[in-house]
Amino acid sequence: MIVLGIETSCDETGVALYAHDRGLLAHVLYSQVALHAEYGGVVPELASRDHVRKAVPLLREVFRAAGLASGAVDGVAYTAGPGLVGALMVGAALGRSLAWAWGVPALGVHHLEGHLLAPLLEPEPPAFPFVALLVSGGHTLLVDVAGVGRYRVLGESVDDAVGEAFDKTAKLLGLPYPGGPELARLAEHGDPARFSFPRPMTDRPGLDFSFSGLKTFALNTLHGLAGSAQDRADVARAFEDAVVDTLAIKCRRAVKATGTRRLVVAGGVGANRRLRVRLTELMQELGGGAYYPRPAFCTDNGAMIALAGCLRLTAGQAEDLAIRATARWPLDGLEAPAAG
Q: Is residue 30 a contact partner of residue 67, using CB atoms and an 8 Å limit?
A: no
Q: How far apart are CA 184 and CA 269, in angstroms?
A: 10
In angstroms, the CA 245 to CA 53 distance is: 41
Strands 289-291 and 262-266 turn out to be parallel
Residue partners of 201: CB distance under 8 A and separation at least 6: 208, 209, 210, 246
- Binding site annotation covers 137? yes
Q: Tell me if 11 is assigned to a ligand binding site.
A: no
Do the annotations mark residue 223 as ligand-binding? no
Task: Kindly give, in sequence order, each residue whose CB lies less than 8 Å from that of residue 231, ignoring residues fewer than 6 positions away.
Answer: 222, 225
CA neighbours closer than 13 Å in the CB half-sphere of residue 325: 21
On whether 115 is known to bind a ligand per the annotation, the reply is: yes
| Residue 135 marked in a binding site | yes
Does 228 appear as a known binding residue? no
180 is in an annotated binding site: yes
167 is in an annotated binding site: yes
Q: Is 245 annotated as a binding residue?
A: no
Ligand-binding site membership of 300 (annotated): yes
The answer to whether 134 is annotated as binding is: yes
Q: Give DSSP secondary structure letters for 101-159.
A: HHT--EEEEEHHHHHHHGGGGSSSPPPSSEEEEEE-SS-EEEEEEEETTEEEEEEEBSS
**Which residues line the annotated binding site?**
111, 115, 134-138, 167, 180, 272, 300
**Which residues line the annotated binding site for Fe cation?**
111, 115, 300
**Which residues line the annotated binding site for substrate?**
134-138, 167, 180, 272
